[in-house]
Chain A
């Protein structure tokens, strides 16, 4: 067989494979439902949502008590990928994570609960078939867990009351350099942070980290609750290689968790303690680095080069519009309504050299003489200037639609004679 014929046959086989895959991959038995009104008070629905995340093998990305919004990430197993993803059969062998946002708001006497699951691997996003959302609604309604952490993740006891332990946790994390604190919420009892780990030390934290040329990344959530005069601490950790194209979650040796709790315990006893396992390694700009590793832009950084839009409405209304638009299509990195700040991870095809752009995009709402100023910035984006301008303008337009469209639809909302 000549080389040309062999190539021809290979091409043919590849085309047949692609063709048949495409033919069978466009069905879903599930309808997608992201919003459900539940007969629960918002406080109750929120509390159940927090408990659901606490029980799951997930790390918290952000938690905002004022907006009643939280987002978290977790690894999906091969079976999960098959069950929960539209593209399940095609990508089940690819390590996947899922990033989930839950947002609770008042709806009459009940709650409007919004859930969005955004699954993805390192190089691409896949799509939820709606089952994750449905299972989470059901779990919140029942007040039960959705997924439970592995049996090995045992709670540990700190011999200090929760308020004391909490101060020690905050001290430990704020004094540790080279880590990014993603969430610290005393009311929910959770602190979450991310860090990069030097390649030489990564195997200490994960026995499966055998590729010594890759640095590692860790995201850890520490949950605490009162138990008499002492505090029970539970940890959830997500370890993976930085820079790998398939960052599968690696098992933890338990050392990172032990080091953290030892430092917290020492600080709670009034001793000095170091917790600095991180490195300064930034890694390439890919989804996981932007989500976990890049410190969120500050208000000053946002304002330095922002796209601005005046919105003649109170800040509270503008905030709701911002969340309604962005929670549906974006992975939420951090949310802080008190400061009027929302950070998302934007990932899209681009005219940039790499043909794809992943970057943090931050929105800020601030009071103005007309109502509210919306500022949108993405200073680290590699997008060409015009593309970035369009990206920010489109977001502002959608927020504007959310706020002002109804005023333009009198013809629809005022019933005419003989109309429905």
Chain B
């Protein structure tokens, strides 16, 4: 029995470590990225309808393909651009080249430069394979949360046993029940306490991981949009107008424009500094 458990644990650890392996090398078409993207796309579209106006979709796709071409497309993905019918002003990418913008976002934009900046940001996520890494990090997060739950239980049992041993000499017929309750309370408090602290640590760690992705995608967006002939400062304008809007169209939105306000302010400042340093908005 224990051998089976160890084998299972080894497998899970190996899976959670795949996130690191996913960052290296070129990706063949129809790779795991594309298969993962297909899966997410099918899930997503069962919940949110596509906006199918041929003129609008064709223009979004033209802008997207121009930016994708300027990105060098290092993994040779076939980029596909979709417009989702949702008032939520957001954009996001799924693995393998799936990129989505919403009707709410299009409505909020003012010009093609802003659209190009957003698409460039999402193309940056795809080229860096962030959706795959986020998927892997979610698995790792599940794994560590599971480990935390088991660890907390074990720690709480240890504390409970220790407290029970310490109290044993004082146990009498009269106070046995009270001491038993005290022992159970010790278990409960230790378990809840360890779990709460552990979860806070895990959440902070993975939020940091996610913020790094956003900074990297911003950096790439400036390069890609500039190379494609669009204004590089448009990304900062987008942040200004819609970036502070919070919300998710879907739990599958593995990467999107929104960050907590503090992080968003840092992203905006970095973009502005980068544009100013280059001395050219284009």
Q: Which residues of B contact A32 (CB under 8 A)?
A: 38, 41-42, 45
Q: Which residues of A contact B47 (CB under 8 A)?
A: 329
The answer to whether A11 and B150 touch (CB under 8 A), given A27-B39, A409-B106, is yes
In the complex, the answer to whether B51 meets A405 with C-beta atoms within 8 Å is: yes
Q: Which of A310-336 contact B (CB under 8 A)?
A: 324-326, 328-329
Task: Please list 19 pairs of residues, one from A and one from B, whose beta carbons are closer than 8 Å in the complex, sorted by A's number.
Answer: A4-B157, A8-B153, A9-B5, A12-B150, A13-B5, A15-B149, A19-B146, A20-B15, A23-B12, A27-B38, A28-B35, A130-B42, A329-B46, A329-B49, A398-B86, A401-B87, A405-B56, A409-B106, A411-B110
| B135-143, B203-211, B255-263, B269-277: which lies at the interface | B135-143
Interface size on B, residues (CB 8 A): 56
> A330: shortest Cβ distance to chain B, in Å?
9
14 extra interchain contacts, Cβ-Cβ under 8 A, other than A328-B45, A412-B59? Answer: A8-B153, A16-B12, A19-B146, A20-B15, A23-B139, A27-B35, A27-B36, A28-B39, A329-B48, A401-B107, A405-B107, A409-B106, A412-B115, A419-B112
Q: Which residues of A contact B50 (CB under 8 A)?
A: 328
Interface size on A, residues (CB 8 A): 49
Q: Determine if B202 is an interface residue (Cβ-Cβ < 8 Å).
A: no
Return the chain A residue nearest B229 by Cβ. A418
Return the chain A residue nearest B78 by Cβ. A31
- A13, A127, A401, A408: the one within 8 Å of B42 (CB): A127
> B223: shortest Cβ distance to chain A, in Å?
19
Q: Determine if A129 is an interface residue (Cβ-Cβ < 8 Å).
A: yes
Bound CA span A325–B52, Å: 10
> A47: shortest Cβ distance to chain B, in Å?
24
Q: Which of A401-420 contact B (CB under 8 A)?
A: 401-402, 405-406, 408-409, 411-413, 416, 418-420
Q: Which of A1-27 contact B (CB under 8 A)?
A: 4, 8-9, 11-13, 15-16, 19-20, 22-23, 26-27
Q: Determine if A341 is an interface residue (Cβ-Cβ < 8 Å).
A: no
Q: Determine if B185 is an interface residue (Cβ-Cβ < 8 Å).
A: no
The answer to whether A413 and B150 touch (CB under 8 A), given A19-B139, A329-B49, is no
- Total A-B pairs, Cβ < 8 A: 136
In the complex, the answer to whether A411 meets B39 with C-beta atoms within 8 Å is: no
In the complex, the answer to whether B11 meets A20 with C-beta atoms within 8 Å is: yes
Q: Which residues of B contact A23 (CB under 8 A)?
A: 12, 15, 139
Q: Which residues of B contact A26 (CB under 8 A)?
A: 36, 39-40, 135
Q: Determine if B24 is an interface residue (Cβ-Cβ < 8 Å).
A: no
Q: Which residues of B contact A86 (CB under 8 A)?
A: 39, 42-43
Q: Determine if B32 is an interface residue (Cβ-Cβ < 8 Å).
A: yes
In the complex, the answer to whether B153 meets A398 with C-beta atoms within 8 Å is: no
Q: Return the CB mask of B14-44 against A: 1 if under 8 Å, else 0.
A: 0100000000000000101001101111110
In the complex, the answer to whether B5 meets A12 with C-beta atoms within 8 Å is: yes
- Listed in ascending order, the chain A residues whose CB lies under 8 Å from chain B are 4, 8-9, 11-13, 15-16, 19-20, 22-23, 26-32, 34-35, 86, 118, 125, 127-130, 324-326, 328-329, 394, 397-398, 401-402, 405-406, 408-409, 411-413, 416, 418-420
Q: Which residues of A contact B51 (CB under 8 A)?
A: 401-402, 405
Bound CA span A413–B46, Å: 28
Q: Which residues of B contact A329 (CB under 8 A)?
A: 46-49
| B60-68, B118-126, B235-243: which lies at the interface | B60-68
The answer to whether A127 and B46 touch (CB under 8 A), given A16-B9, A398-B85, is yes
Q: Which residues of B contact A405 (CB under 8 A)?
A: 51, 53, 56, 103, 106-107
The answer to whether A22 and B139 touch (CB under 8 A), given A406-B53, A409-B106, is yes
Q: Which residues of B contact A118 (CB under 8 A)?
A: 46
In the complex, the answer to whether A31 meets B85 with C-beta atoms within 8 Å is: no
